[in-house]
Every structure is written in C-alpha cells, then in structure tokens.
C-alpha cells in the first residue's frame, strides 16, 4: 500500500483495497500458455474461495460494492512462481497534479502563460488561519484557506542519496525570483500574486537546516516547469535503520490445526488510506511469538518491523524453531502511540497504524527564507 500511495491518492472518502495471489508455476503450466482466460478464472476463483484467509478478506474486497475500479498485474515471482496483484478503488486520482483534474488557475499579476494552479484538496485539512494574524505576518498576502494547504505526497531520493526532492507546483524561473518562499514550523509557504500557497510536510521542518528551492522540467510535460524542494538528509537517524522503540513484545498467535504445516507467518495488508494503514497476521500451523518494533530509517519515514519465532516440522518429522521478520514501510514518521495491536478472538493479530495528527498552521510561527538554487 505505501507503494500504491505514491501513485494513487484516496480523496473524498475514497477506499483503496489490495489483493495478492500466488499461483504455482506448475498450475499455470497445466493450463498452457494459450489458455489465459482459464488461468485468470482460476485466480479469481481462488480469491473468491479465499482459503488462506480466516476472515475471507479478499473475497469481501471482490464483492464490495464500493469498488468501481480495478487494476491488475500478473507476472513471475522469484519464490512462489507466479504473482497476481489486484488493486481496488472507489475512484482514481493520480498523485501528480494534472490539467484534467486541477482546479482553474488563479488570476495573478504574473505572466498568464504560467499561472500557479491552487494545490489539490488535502485529505488532512489545515486549521483556518485568523485573518488578523495572517495580516500581521504578511500584509500583502490574503489569509490562507484550508484548501490552500496540502500534504507533500511525492518524495524522491536524489541519486547521490544525500537529500530528498519534493514536487510543489508549476512555477517558472522568473516567477520563483519574484515570489517569496519561507518555512514556518512544519509548513512551506509560497507567496506569489497576492496569496499564500502552503504545503504541510510529512516531517517537522523545524529540525531540518538545509532546504533549497529550484525549478525543474516536468518529466510528463516537458513544456511545464515545476517548483521543487531539495531537503538535506544530514539529520537522518541511521542509514540502516535505528530502533526507536519496541511497540509490543511476545504476542502469541495460537495454532490453527487446519492450516497446512508449511504455511509460515506473514503480515498481510488490508484496506488502507492516506490516514491509516491496516494489516493482520492470521493463525498459523504453530504458535507464533511476535515482537513488533518501530524503526526510523529516514528523516521522512518510519518502518514497523515484525519479528516472528515459530516451530516447523522438518522432513524427518522433527520440530525445529525458526525465526523470521517482515517490515511494513510507512510513508510518514510514526510513533508508538500511532500503532494499535489487537489479538482477535479467532487468534489473528490486527494491526492499525494511524498517520500522525498534523499540527495546525500557526501564523505567528517565525518565518525563515528558503534559499534558491
């Protein structure tokens, strides 16, 4: 889901779901390469039967009347032979701003050939800003409105791995020279044409010292120039990840005798949104001891790491103790308080990771100019 969220965004209470199906190469070959429709029917049937999920979550997604769009990919998998990924969505909006769905551009004193479109509606609206405070902070700018604020959704790492770049909005070099770009707390504010455009960052900008603004040609539309931020990674916790805290230790997911003994514990993602990521661990063929850790890997993201200890029957009939781990990568910086873990009555483990509550915009926050490259 974090990968999907880079390209799709759930807006207007939209719902996004995900199913992953592994099909053995032997099964695929038994149909033959000329019988793709039979293979597809087999894959869909396996989702509807949903034998591996006690709660039949994949079946529920296929039959959920809220889903109006579906995207499917099928291809090889290095471990299981064949993999089918199905993404369900109530509606489809790409993360990148496009003329097809962007609001009409605002009138400004800048060149009419390069207007600045207002940013898209945010799923995390900012608190309204008092007019008196906004006037005091910026006499020439109008008071920011909730729709003028959105969260950065596209974060890219530079080739040298020393910084992140973030796409803000279309802006020419000349407009950047005449505009004022500042950071206020965890916000970036662009003043141009008598109004403010604001972006709420996925991590606190107060702790970042190096921020540079520059213009870059759009990959999808070469004639369009985009305003970009380059943010230094000098304050990253650790290149290989740094343990922040243990969220929960030694939760035991009980044995289910009906599960094949070779089925190993695996965290599976459920329906997720930009505000919340949900996952679950079903009951397995042996008791599973789970330790959940929160790991900070980058200044902009956290990971939730699950460590498993369980037993498995060997070919000789003996029991051996195995260890494994799995990581859910988050698109935001999280804390222990944002993670809820519940052991359900059927023995499955439910995990809910809430995006941190955004701080409201504070007009009295000190402004720091952002340098231009």
Higher pLDDT, 105 or 328: 328
Residue 172 has pLDDT above 70, yes or no: yes
Contact of 208 with 202, CB cutoff 8 Å: no
User: In whole angstroms, how large is the CA radius of gyration of the chain?
Assistant: 24
Tell me the average pLDDT across 160-171.
82
Top-level CATH class of 131-235+359-372? mainly beta
Residue 13 has pLDDT above 50, yes or no: no
pLDDT at 207: 64
Residue 16 has pLDDT above 50, yes or no: yes
The answer to which of 56-65, 254-263, 279-288, 341-350 has the lowest mean pLDDT is 254-263
Domain boundaries, the chain: 1-94, 131-235+359-372
Q: What is the pLDDT of residues 44-87, one digit of tens each?
A: 888 889 887 777 888 888 888 878 888 898 888 888 888 899 98
Closest CA to 228 of 238, 241, 239, 219: 219
Going by C-beta distance under 8 Å and a sequence separation of 6 or more, which residues neighbour residue 174?
110, 111
pLDDT at 278: 92
46 vs 32: CA distance, rounded Å: 18
Higher pLDDT, 34 or 216: 216
Count CB atoms within 10 A of the CB of residue 52: 17
Percent of the chain's residues with pLDDT above 70: 75
pLDDT category of residue 104 using cuts at 50, 70 and 90: very low
pLDDT at 163: 79
Could you identify the residue written with the tokens 């079946």? 59
Length of the chain (residues): 373
Contact of 253 with 265, CB cutoff 8 Å: yes
């Amino acid at each position: 889901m974090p990968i999907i969220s880079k390209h799709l965004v759930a807006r207007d209470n939209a719902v996004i779901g995900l199913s992953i199906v592994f099909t053995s190469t032997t099964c695929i070959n038994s149909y033959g390469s000329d019988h793709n429709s039979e293979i597809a029917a087999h894959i869909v049937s396996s989702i509807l039967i949903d034998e591996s999920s006690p709660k039949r979550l994949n079946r529920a997604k296929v039959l959920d009347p809220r889903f109006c769009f579906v995207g499917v990919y099928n291809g090889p998998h290095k471990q299981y032979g064949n993999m089918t990924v199905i993404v369900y969505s109530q509606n489809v909006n790409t993360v990148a701003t496009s003329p097809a769905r962007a609001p009409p551009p605002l009138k400004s004193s800048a060149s009419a050939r390069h207007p600045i479109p207002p940013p898209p509606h945010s799923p995390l609206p900012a608190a309204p800003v008092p007019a008196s405070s906004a006037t005091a902070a910026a006499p020439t700018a109008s008071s920011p409105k909730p729709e003028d604020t959105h969260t950065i959704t596209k974060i890219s790492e530079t080739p040298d791995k020393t910084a992140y770049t973030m796409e803000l909005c279309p802006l020419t070099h000349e407009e950047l020279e005449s505009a004022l770009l500042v950071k206020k707390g965890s916000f970036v504010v662009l003043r141009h044409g008598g109004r403010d455009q604001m972006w709420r960052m996925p991590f606190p900008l107060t702790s970042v010292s190096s921020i540079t603004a520059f213009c870059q040609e759009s990959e999808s539309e070469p004639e369009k120039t985009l305003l970009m931020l380059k943010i230094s990674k000098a304050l990253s916790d650790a290149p290989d990840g740094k343990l922040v805290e243990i969220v929960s230790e030694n939760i035991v997911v009980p044995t289910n005798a009906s599960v094949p003994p070779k089925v190993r514990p695996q965290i599976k993602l459920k329906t997720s949104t930009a505000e919340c990521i949900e996952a679950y661990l079903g009951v397995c063929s042996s008791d599973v001891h789970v330790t959940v850790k929160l790991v900070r890997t980058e200044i902009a993201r956290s990971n939730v790491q699950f460590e498993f200890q369980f037993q498995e029957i060997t070919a000789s009939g003996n029991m051996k103790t195995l260890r494994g781990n799995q990581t859910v990568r988050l698109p935001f910086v999280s804390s222990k308080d944002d993670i809820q873990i519940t052991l359900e009555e059927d023995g499955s483990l439910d995990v809910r990771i809430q995006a941190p509550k955004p701080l409201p915009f504070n007009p009295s926050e000190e402004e720091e100019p952002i340098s231009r490259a």
